[in-house]
Amino acid sequence: MACHKDYEYKLHQYLDGDMTETERDELYQHLDTCEECAIHYKELKKSVMFVQSASHIEAPFEFTEGVLKNLPAKKKTKWWKK
């Protein structure tokens, strides 16, 4: 756990790229001295990496054909009445 709720919030701000340079430097300094927060950050980073590494799956075979088969019957084109 982060040493303080404030720092937990800051870690998330950092992960979202929502920090000014000064805020970032301050956080880096804190992480150098606070083991709890450093571990918390490492764990967050690791979790994000795991989710990002989730294999990209594809739609099943003949998915598009399946969708088309279920389309509502098309309105008859009345070309012959022209």
Residue 72 burial (CB count, 10 A) = 5
Interface with other proteins, residue 64, by CB under 8 A: yes
Interface with other proteins, residue 40, by CB under 8 A: yes
Which one of 20-28, 29-37, 62-70 is the stretch in contact with other proteins (CB under 8 A)?
62-70
37/12 Cα distance (integer angstroms)? 12
> What residue has token string 């040493």?
3
Q: Applying CB under 8 A, which residues contact other proteins?
A: 8-9, 12, 15-16, 18, 40, 43-44, 46-48, 50-60, 63-64, 66-68, 70-72, 74-75, 77
